[in-house]
Structure 1
Amino acid sequence: MASDQRDPDALRVHFGEELRRMRMRAKLSQSQLASALGCTPQWICQLEKADKTVSEQTALDLDTHFKTDGWEHEEGHFLRIYTTIRRAGRHRALLPGFDAYLHHESRAIGIRCFAAQVVPGLLQTESYARGLMMPGESAETLETRVTGRMERQAILTRQNPPMTIFVLDESVLHRPVGGSKAMAEQLDHLIGLEQSLHVDLRVLPYGRVSPAGLEGSFILLSFVQDVDLMYIEAAGVSQLIEGRSTTFKAGVRFSLVMGESLSCTETFELLNRVREEYS
């Protein structure tokens, strides 16, 4: 299965094959196993044929029934396959190149982000994130992307979180992603960051024109020893840049944008005023 570790469809087939193998070894019919698990024989059949999406609870139930290695600690055979399926699904749902960025983001000690269009992923609420999803994608892909985005945010509350600075163009606050209710929730979330010790949030207002802010969004990651990395997205493709010259210029650009932004007090006063527009 090594070559298929990033193919969720192949992994679901593997799950079904393993289910059938264990069922046959236990000399159980599909009906007998279904009766033991409290489901229908059709459900078992669909799992074995990889026609059904595998759920975590299904994996846990199968591990418990067959007493697979590690089942007592929720580390059984079927749960391990399920975890790999889930990981592969996330990889498929990511923008090309974004998985490499996530690896570096998780070990960064500093994150500087200028957002020119939308609230950055690390600060998004679930309803706002859903409002950004492309309608042409499958429901499974959309759910995977939203779940992954929410789980990413754990780095902001972990022990020793990175120091982060986010500068949002004011237009981000007035773009009603997901509708008024979603925007109200999103603004409430941003306002709640005022007391954060690790998140510095600023707004670049309409009244201050910064040429450095007209070139689009970007993120800079800083590390304990490694050089900074720059991340950008455009037209559904992401790019991670590690050239010293490029990241240095991006750092200068971020400083210029930061210099034109509102102070912390002014930022949260503006956030509260805009929040009233969505009441």
Structure 2
Amino acid sequence: MASDQQNPDALRVHFGLELRRTRQRTKLSQNELAKALGCTPQWICQLEKADKTVSEQTALDLDTYFKTDGWDRDEGHFHRIYQTIRRAGRHRVLLPGFDAYLRHESRAIGIRSFAAQVVPGLLQTEGYARGLMMPGESVETLDARVAGRMERQATLTRQNPPMTIFVLDESVLYRPVGGPKVMVEQLDHLIGFESSLNVDVRVLPYGRVAPAGLEGGFILLNFEQEADLMYIEAAGVGQLIESKSTMFKAGVRFSLVMGEALSRTETFQLLSRTREEYA
């Protein structure tokens, strides 16, 4: 089973086998279990054969019915398997190299991000995140990516959150990801950080030339005891860089971009004006 921990298909098979084993141990037929849960026998059959996607509510209902260990705290047997399936699904849909970045991001004490194309993931609303997804992907894949991005934002509100600075190129504000309604919601979300003590949002305006920002976006992570890291993306692949000389140059580059950015007050005035243009 250990080798299948990152394979959601294998984990769904495991879920089905565990359901069948539990049902048979309690001497229930598929018809009897379906009646008790208010679903069809076909549904139970499909779950046991791993032909159906496992939902969180299904897992919770099974735990409640069978009174599995931890069911009353939403930590029952089937819910634990469901959570493993969900984590594996998100791992599968991550950009190559991004899973390694996430492990570091969650432990950082400082995050500096320059966004040259779109609002950074840590600041995205659900609607905006969905607007960035590639067309043609399955609903399950899209849901996994969006859910992972939303959960990732807990980094900003955890106990002892990192000090973060986000510099957005002004073009980010005028790229209508998801349409006007989504952009209004996204800009409202950014404006909501105006009084934040640990999240500083700035905009690099069109009118200021910052050569350091023309090479694309990047993220710098700072740690209490470990070496600092830089993360960049190119051609659909993410890369972590820990070279001290590269980190020093990147730090200088971020300082130059920050130096050309609007003040905090000017930034939120621009965000408010842009919001009105979409409303």
Structure 2 portions without partners, runs of 5+? none
> Counterpart of 1:162?
162
Per the alignment, do residues 74 and 274 of structure 1 end up closer, same or farther by CA in structure 2, a change over 3 Å counting? closer
Kindly provide the amino acid, as one letter, of the partner of residue 253 in structure 1. R
3-state SS, counterpart of residue 193 of structure 1 = coil
CA RMSD in angstroms, aligned pairs only: 1.0
Q: Deviations over 1:66-87 (max 9, x none)?
A: 2223323322211111111011
1:11 deviates by: 0.3
1:160 deviates by: 1.1
> Counterpart of 2:213?
213
Q: Deviations over 1:91-132 (max 9, x none)?
A: 011111111111111110000000000000011111111110
Give the structure-1-normalised TM-score. Answer: 0.97
Within 5 Å, which residues of 2 pair with 1:232-247?
Answer: 232-247=232-247
Distance 1:275 1:10 in 2: 46
1:192 deviates by: 1.5
1:63 deviates by: 1.7
> Counterpart of 1:84?
84
Distance 1:163 1:211 in 2: 25
Q: Deviations over 1:140-188 (max 9, x none)?
A: 1111111111111111122211100000000001111110111111111
Distance 2:131 2:14 in 1: 34
Distance 1:130 1:74 in 2: 28
Within 5 Å, which residues of 2 pair with 1:59-208?
Answer: 59-208=59-208
3-state SS, counterpart of residue 195 of structure 1 = coil
> Counterpart of 1:7?
7
3-state SS, counterpart of residue 102 of structure 2 = helix
Percent of pairs with identical residues: 83
40-49 vs 29-38, which moves further: 29-38
> Counterpart of 1:248?
248
Distance 1:70 1:203 in 2: 48
Kindly provide the amino acid, as one letter, of the partner of residue 109 in structure 1. I
Runs of 4+ more than 4 Å apart: none
Kindly provide the amino acid, as one letter, of the partner of residue 220 in structure 1. L
Give the structure-2-normalised TM-score. Answer: 0.97
> Counterpart of 1:16?
16
3-state SS, counterpart of residue 194 of structure 1 = coil
Kindly provide the amino acid, as one letter, of the partner of residue 204 in structure 2. L
1:65 deviates by: 2.1
Instruction: Report whether the alignment pairs 1:50 with 2:50.
Output: yes
Q: Deviations over 1:197-229 (max 9, x none)?
A: 111111111111111000000000001011110
Kindly provide the amino acid, as one letter, of the partner of residue 242 in structure 1. E
1:194 deviates by: 0.8
> Counterpart of 2:263?
263
Distance 2:68 2:125 in 1: 38
Q: Deviations over 1:25-48 (max 9, x none)?
A: 222111011111111100000001
Count residues with an aligned counterpart: 279
Per the alignment, do residues 50 and 115 of structure 1 end up closer, same or farther by CA in structure 2, a change over 3 Å counting? same
